[in-house]
Copies of this chain bind each other. A is one copy, B any other.
């Protein structure tokens, strides 16, 4: 897949799987909403119910900033299948500037965030490698 196609599909995707790695070397996966901002991906935590304590994606990223995002679209017609993967480095940002930028872009992309509060820290992932595959 061409880089511009991969970039477009990543930007348009509504949800991604975010992979991080724990101190024990095990992968961790969670679906996230996100916004693409040039070569940066922003993601934030909203008000949906969470278990107590810091989220595992956050504790993982604090000890190992390597992160991967996958977007894909299932289709029973396998000639329609495609996926895009973004590999990069993610940092946790607690500052107001990061929260403001992430909130602006997430609210622009997702109407749902109009009535959902966003909380720091936000994830700022610098995309270093973008790859993609499509069946045709």
Residues of A near any B CB (own CB < 8 A): 14-15, 17, 19-21, 24-31, 48-49, 64, 66-70, 72, 74, 76, 78, 81, 83, 85, 87, 112, 116, 135
With a 10 A CB-CB cut-off, give which of A49, A68, A81 has the most chain B CB atoms: A68
Residues in B whose Cβ lies below 8 Å from that of A69: 29
State the Cβ distance, A49 to closest chain B Cβ, in Å: 8
Partner of A78, one of B21, B24, B48, B64: B48
Partner of A31, one of B28, B31, B64, B72: B72
Copy number in the complex reads 2
Top 9 nearest A-B pairs (CB, nearest first) are A19-B27, A29-B70, A17-B17, A26-B66, A19-B19, A27-B68, A31-B72, A15-B74, A29-B68
A107, chain B: closest CB distance, angstroms: 14
The CA of A95 and the CA of B127, in the complex, are separated in Å by 39
